[in-house]
Structure 1
């Protein structure tokens, strides 16, 4: 049971990471998605810039210990991403690229939002006094 929990938390962690990287594009379709994504992106930024331990990492390590599995003292990204999906020397570059991707997704969302608002104003009948 604990091994299944650890695996579930691992999958959830990957989903969260994907949401941090790509969730800004959801704002293009659903502008109200901005606030949850901003919170997720801010937490992601804090975890990589300040030495914070993600609660999902704590939960995964706890479940792996309970399951009798070995754990590393490293975090999620250090264990499952660096040197697995890309060489460690590219970590800083990829962090910057993710930041740029999020900012660009927000910028395009802002332009789309303003365009939709302008279209809505133009389609409204003139106000009568």
Structure 2
């Protein structure tokens, strides 16, 4: 019984990590777009932009290869060990179905991930990252 509780806690931790990754990917693009309109320099920081591009790149690559996210697999495995039901689809698909009651074939999610990835690439091109995009106070007056 204690093992099931531990597996459930670990599965919940993976769920929170997965949610944080999704928020970073989606929120990162929103931050880049809105931040550039509001002239926030930090949104064009090269490290932030490279990590953001890599994150959506991994999602798109996995979708094109027909693979589920490793976090989805890990959480499902932990839930099974905890005696709970595992996901029958991808993380996003599972939660989109639960929240929006929307069901679609896997290819719809592949196209959606790809379109979002292209939006990130377009933002990269339209608002190019800068090597040192931290805020610096202006000197003199």
Name the TM tier (shorter chain): 0.5 to 0.7
List gaps (5 residues or longer) in structure 2. 1-5, 36-41, 134-141
Determine if contact 1:22/1:102 at 8 Å carries over to the other structure. no
Q: Which has the larger radius of gyration?
A: 1
List gaps (5 residues or longer) in structure 1. 117-129
Residue 31 of structure 1 and its aligned partner are, at CA, apart by 2.0
Residue 51 of structure 1 and its aligned partner are, at CA, apart by 0.8
CA distance in 2, matches of 1:74, 1:19: 21
Q: CA RMSD in A?
A: 2.9
Q: Which residue of 2 aligns with 1:48?
A: 63
TM-score normalised to the size of structure 1? 0.68
Which residues of 2 match residues 1-129 of structure 1 at below 5 A? 1-24=6-29, 25=32, 28-82=43-97, 84-85=99-100, 87-88=102-103, 91=109, 94-95=112-113, 97-110=115-128, 113=130
* Paired residues, number: 114
Q: 1:71 to 1:2 in 2, by over 3 A?
A: same
Q: 1:101 to 1:46 in 2, by over 3 A?
A: same
Residue 93 of structure 1 and its aligned partner are, at CA, apart by 6.5
TM-score normalised to the size of structure 2? 0.63
Q: 1:22 to 1:103 in 2, by over 3 A?
A: farther
| Richer in helix (by share) | 1
